[in-house]
Structure 1
Amino acid sequence: MIIDLRSDTVTKPTKGMLDTMLTAEVGDDVYKEDPSINALEQRLADMFGMDEALFFPTGSMANQAALKLHTNPGEQVICDKYAHIYNYEGGGASFNSGISCKLVDGHRGMFTAEQAETSINPPDFYHSPLTSLIAVENTTNKGGGACWDFEELKKLRQVATNHGLGYHLDGARLWNALIVKDQSPKQYGELFDTISVCLSKGLGCPMGSVLIGNNDLMQGAIRVRKILGGGMRQVGFAAAAGLYALDNHFERLAEDHKKAKEIAEVLSKNTSIEKVEPIETNILIFELKSDVNETDFLNRLSEKGIQIIGMGSNKLRMVTHLNYSDAMHERLLQILVSI
């Protein structure tokens, strides 16, 4: 039995999802003639109470398009030092948009409104980049699936408004935050100018992310997508997977969160573990004791069929997901007790 907990991106479509994909009605999406894509985009726009939504092949491309829509070359985006747009998108902010990142030293990928405000460069000081955007990530990937305090997000909205800045949410795992915090998509749609949501992580689709926003920004989104190479043809098969996932895989995210907490309980009693980060959703980050070799520990797990991620500095990561079954969970817990 191979137990792959490297990421929630390793999932494969369920039978129900595959059946839905095979029977999807499709068309040429570059001409905006794919009925399944149009239905998915409209559903997500309505769900978040925003004007428009646009399908992208990847979350990084959706985020990169948002950065381009909000900024001009030479400007700057405020984000946390752990932010996905800074750490895991190949330097795309500088390559695609010609902008720099002002990194905030937050906590687990989250920062305060006060920190954001002090990070804004004076607009009349032409020696520094012009600040034009605040970007947040919920849940935080490198922060261990942590969820933002919604009141702090509201304060950040006010900072953005007061200074004439854009406000973007990298919501790749926003679905997890909505479940654990019992929040609604419309609450987020009221705060942000643009929101990206991922279909291929917690929801278990084979591909796809969607950028959602209002008309003033989104009217340029399809052009930016074309420039980035994201225009696709009969992609409604992927949209059908997304529609199926929204109906069948959203509420079940609570199961992933429960399993992550149960793993954390076992790890916290393991004598090789220094500490386990607090668990809110489906990402679990833990640190080995200084006298435990990270590579050796990973190899011991691998020999037992368990695949996880080494983050360096003796930090390791597990991510629970749709294809992590109850049988796998019981097996993993037994191994973690004995290793």
Structure 2
Amino acid sequence: MTYTPAPRDPKQTPVRINLLSDTQTRPTPAMRDAMARADVGDEQIGDDPTVNLLCERVADLLGKEAAVFMPSGTMCNVAATLVHCRPGDEILAHESAHIIAREGGAHAALGGFQITALPGADGQFAPDTFRKALHPRTRYQPPQTVVSAEQTANIGGGTIWKKTDLDEVVQIARSNGMATHMDGARLLNACVASGISARDMTAGWDSAWIDFSKGLGAPIGGVIAGSRDFIDEVWRWKQRLGGSMRQAGICAAACVYALDHHVDRLADDHANARALARGLSQIAGMQVQQPETNLVFFTPDGAGVTGDRMVEALRNRGVLLAMMDGRIRACTHLDVTAAMIDETVGLVREIVRGA
């Protein structure tokens, strides 16, 4: 399910089109300028004005009492479960969720937590599946403490959880004394595509975070929000995990800039993803999952080319994509233009013809 890109040979074809991930974005010149001009202080003692501004804005955006700036989204997830749970507790999440597939077993290694994988199409579990996975609270079974949802669902194809399903999951969790955590790695992609505000999307969720190093284009960082008491405990784990920083305003300034300039333009990435899917679908034998946001999953086997061979052939032409869960994933972002999408489709067609 996970992938490890092979080290690039400096003699290989230079990368011209990077569809590997939206984490590949580079800070724009204007973002770099904002970083250079950032007002900074000691973040660890609450003395960095730019970090404080960012946290206030995200807390307001998500409708929570407080927020904290973290070096990565993974640290947001790990710190959240370390606050919500105790050793031996059980977390429920979709079987393809980032906390299961892509965080190195951190939740088990650091917290001693058990994660139960819930099945479901397109990276999402149905509320009824969640309900049926609950068990009576007895000494024979682990306490079920947290349910987590990933918005958007990465391995599911960048799909968007319906608001009604999110609300029902919250209702079930509350009636069973459980906390709710939203992995918001691409939360704003979901908001832009659906027209639902981030505040409404995360309403009722005890903790939620935004990743700034993906489609928002910042070089580093995520911000997790929740109640003041919850964030106080997250800070304790941030300190323990080595995530407390000093003049972090330089990084936070990029995130503030992204909130001001890079949210609405996520719609451009979604349009490019649809254009890519449309072009690939016109190639005979190509199986393409129609995108809801900025991720396009496709399988070229029916066109006579294996996924691994297609990825390698495109790499040799300067186009980077990833094999993930047996399919090819292409990810659009602010460094990908419509012209690059057209060129990628043309190259895929050329490779298929050659096969």
Query: TM class by shorter-chain length?
Result: over 0.9
1:36-83: CA deviation from partner (whole Å, max 9, x where unpaired)? 000000011111111000000000001100111110000000000010
Moved over 3 A (4+): none
1:272 is displaced (CA, Å) by 4.7
The DSSP-based 3-state class of the residue aligned with 1:285 is: strand
1:127 is displaced (CA, Å) by 1.9
Partner of 2:329 in structure 1? Answer: 317
Partner of 1:171 in structure 2? Answer: 184
1:333 is displaced (CA, Å) by 2.9
Matches within 5 A, 1:19-38: 19-38=33-52
1:295-331: CA deviation from partner (whole Å, max 9, x where unpaired)? 2222221122111001253x11000001112332332
Q: Which amino acid aligns with 1:70?
A: H
1:224-277: CA deviation from partner (whole Å, max 9, x where unpaired)? 11111101110101110000000100000000000101110111122352x111
Partner of 1:190 in structure 2? Answer: 203
1:3 is displaced (CA, Å) by 0.5
Normalising by structure 1, report the TM-score: 0.96
* Match status 1:42 vs 2:56: yes
Partner of 2:97 in structure 1? Answer: 83
Q: Distance in 1 between matches of 2:307 and 2:156?
A: 20
Partner of 2:12 in structure 1? Answer: none
Among 134, 138, 150, the alignment partner of 1:120 is 134
Does the aligned pair in 2 maintain the 1:82–1:108 contact within 8 Å? no
Partner of 2:300 in structure 1? Answer: 288
Q: Distance in 1 between matches of 2:17 and 2:221?
A: 24
Residue identity (%): 35
* Match status 1:235 vs 2:262: no
Q: Distance in 2 between matches of 1:227 and 1:120?
A: 32
Q: Distance in 2 between matches of 1:119 and 1:230?
A: 34
* Match status 1:93 vs 2:107: yes
Q: Distance in 2 between matches of 1:49 and 1:276?
A: 37
The DSSP-based 3-state class of the residue aligned with 2:22 is: coil
1:12 is displaced (CA, Å) by 0.5
1:285 is displaced (CA, Å) by 0.6
1:334 is displaced (CA, Å) by 2.5
Partner of 1:111 in structure 2? Answer: 125
1:289 is displaced (CA, Å) by 2.0
1:31 is displaced (CA, Å) by 0.7
Q: Distance in 1 between matches of 2:240 and 2:202?
A: 26
1:336 is displaced (CA, Å) by 2.9
Q: Distance in 1 between matches of 2:109 and 2:209?
A: 20
Partner of 1:258 in structure 2? Answer: 271
* Match status 1:301 vs 2:314: yes
1:93 is displaced (CA, Å) by 1.0
The DSSP-based 3-state class of the residue aligned with 2:309 is: helix
* Match status 1:247 vs 2:254: no
Q: Distance in 2 between matches of 1:289 and 1:326?
A: 26
Q: Distance in 2 between matches of 1:264 and 1:58?
A: 30
Q: Distance in 2 between matches of 1:119 and 1:197?
A: 28
Q: Distance in 2 between matches of 1:215 and 1:79?
A: 25
Partner of 1:337 in structure 2? Answer: 349
Partner of 1:213 in structure 2? Answer: 226
* Match status 1:277 vs 2:257: no
Q: Which amino acid aligns with 1:278?
A: Q
Q: Distance in 1 between matches of 2:285 and 2:308?
A: 13
Does the aligned pair in 2 maintain the 1:272–1:292 contact within 8 Å? no
Which ranges in structure 2 are unaligned for 5 or more consecutive residues? 1-14
Does the aligned pair in 1 maintain the 2:299–2:307 contact within 8 Å? no
Q: Which amino acid aligns with 2:237?
A: V
How many positions carry a matched residue from both structures? 336
Q: Distance in 1 between matches of 2:301 and 2:337?
A: 29
The DSSP-based 3-state class of the residue aligned with 1:219 is: helix
1:223 is displaced (CA, Å) by 0.3
Identify if the C-alpha distance between structure 1 residues 38 and 213 changes in structure 2 by more than 3 Å, giving closer, same or farther: same
Q: Which moved more, 1:321-330 or 1:151-160?
A: 321-330
The DSSP-based 3-state class of the residue aligned with 1:220 is: helix
Does the aligned pair in 1 maintain the 2:55–2:67 contact within 8 Å? yes
Q: Distance in 2 between matches of 1:223 and 1:299?
A: 44
Among 213, 223, 231, the alignment partner of 2:236 is 223
Normalising by structure 2, report the TM-score: 0.92
